Amino acid sequence: MARIEFRNLGHAYGKNPQQPSDFALQPMNMVWEDGGAYALLGPSGCGKSTLLNIISGLLVPSHGQVLFDGKDVTDTPTRGRNIAQVFQFPVLYDTMTVYDNLAFPLRNRKVPEAEVHKRVHEVAEILGMKDALKVRASGMSADAKQKISLGRGLVRKDVSAILFDEPLTVIDPHLKWQLRRQLKQIHQQLKLTLIYVTHDQVEALTFADEVVVMTDGKIVQKGAPDALFERPDHTFVGYFIGSPGMNFYPVKLDAADTNGIFIGSDRLALDPARVAQLKRAQGTLSMGIRPEFIELAPSGAEGALEAEIRHVQHLGTCQLVTGTIAGHPLKGKLDTSVPVQAGRHWLRLARPETIFFCNDERIAQ
Ligand SMILES: Nc1ncnc2c1ncn2[C@@H]1O[C@H](COP(=O)(O)OP(=O)(O)OP(=O)(O)O)[C@@H](O)[C@H]1O
Taking residues 62-81, report their average pLDDT: 95
Q: Is the CB of 48 under 6 A from ligand 1?
A: yes
SS3 category, 182: helix
SS3 category, 340: coil
Q: What pLDDT does residue 171 have?
A: 83
Q: What pLDDT does residue 143 have?
A: 87
Q: pLDDT (tens digit, 9 = 90+) per residue, 262-304? A: 999 999 999 999 999 999 999 999 999 999 999 999 999 999 9
Q: Tell me: pLDDT of 365 over 70.
A: no
Cα distance between residue 280 and residue 273, in whole Å: 11
Which residue lies with its CA nearest to atom 26 of ligand 1? 44
**Which ligand 1 atom sits nearest the alpha carbon of residue 49?**
22
Q: By the 8 A CB rule, do 274 and 260 touch?
A: no
Q: Please tell me whether residues 255 and 139 are part of one structural domain.
A: no
Which residue lies with its CA nearest to atom 2 of ligand 1? 13
Which residue lies with its CA nearest to atom 31 of ligand 1? 45
Q: Tell me: pLDDT of 105 over 90.
A: yes
Which residue lies with its CA nearest to atom 3 of ligand 1? 13
Total number of domains in the chain = 2
Distance 363 CA to ligand 1 centre (A): 31
Q: Please tell me whether residues 214 and 297 are part of one structural domain.
A: no
Tell which residue, 191, 196, 208, 138, has the closest CA to residue 169. Answer: 196
Distance 219 CA to ligand 1 centre (A): 15
Q: Tell me: pLDDT of 25 over 80.
A: yes
Q: In what order do the strands lie in the sheet with 37-41?
A: 83-86, 161-165, 194-198, 37-41, 210-215, 218-223
Q: Please tell me whether residues 156 and 47 are part of one structural domain.
A: yes
Q: Please tell me whether residues 191 and 294 are part of one structural domain.
A: no
Taking residues 117-134, report their average pLDDT: 93
Q: In sequence order, what are the residues at sequence separation of 6 or more whose Cβ sits closer than 8 angstroms to the Cβ of residue 340?
A: 296, 309, 312, 319, 321, 334
ipTM above 0.95, yes or no: yes
DSSP labels, 64-120: EEEEETTEE-TT--GGGT-EEEE-SS--S-TTSBHHHHHHHHHHTTT--HHHHHHHH
pLDDT level of residue 126 (50, 70, 90 thresholds):
confident
Residue 265 CB neighbours (<10 A): 8
DSSP labels, 218-245: EEEEEE-HHHHHHS-SBHHHHHHSSSS-
Q: Please tell me whether residues 186 and 269 are part of one structural domain.
A: no
Query: What type of residue sits at position 136?
Result: R
Taking residues 65-94, report their average pLDDT: 92
Q: Please tell me whether residues 128 and 251 are part of one structural domain.
A: no
Q: Is the CB of 45 under 6 A from ligand 1?
A: yes
Domain boundary, last residue among 216, 239, 262: 239
Give the CATH number for residue 204: 3.40.50.300
Q: Please tell me whether residues 235 and 108 are part of one structural domain.
A: yes
> Domain of 70?
4-239
Q: Is the CB of 199 under 6 A from ligand 1?
A: yes
Distance 349 CA to ligand 1 centre (A): 39
Q: With both helix axes pointing from N to C terminus, report the angle between 113-126 and 98-107 in degrees, rounded to the nearest 10.
A: 130
Domain boundary, last residue among 182, 205, 239: 239
Tell which residue, 158, 45, 166, has the closest CA to residue 110. Answer: 158
Taking residues 23-39, report their average pLDDT: 95
Q: Is the CB of 201 under 6 A from ligand 1?
A: no
pLDDT level of residue 96 (50, 70, 90 thresholds):
very high
Give the CATH number for residue 276: 2.40.50.140
**Which ligand 1 atom sits nearest the alpha carbon of residue 166?**
25
Q: Please tell me whether residues 71 and 194 are part of one structural domain.
A: yes
Q: How high does pLDDT run on average in the chain?
A: 93
Which range among 137-151, 156-170, 238-252 has the greatest average pLDDT?
Answer: 238-252
Distance 27 CA to ligand 1 centre (A): 16
Q: pLDDT (tens digit, 9 = 90+) per residue, 181-199? A: 888 888 887 788 899 999 8
Cα distance between residue 255 and residue 185, in whole Å: 55
Distance 14 CA to ligand 1 centre (A): 12
**Of the ranges 168-172, 238-242, 279-283, 358-362, which one carries the lowest mean pLDDT score?**
168-172
Q: Please tell me whether residues 68 and 116 are part of one structural domain.
A: yes
Q: Is the CB of 16 under 6 A from ligand 1?
A: no
Q: Please tell me whether residues 258 and 159 are part of one structural domain.
A: no
Percent of the chain with pLDDT over 70: 99
Q: Give 304's DSSP letter.
A: E
Q: Please tell me whether residues 128 and 232 are part of one structural domain.
A: yes
Distance 62 CA to ligand 1 centre (A): 15
Q: Please tell me whether residues 65 and 116 are part of one structural domain.
A: yes
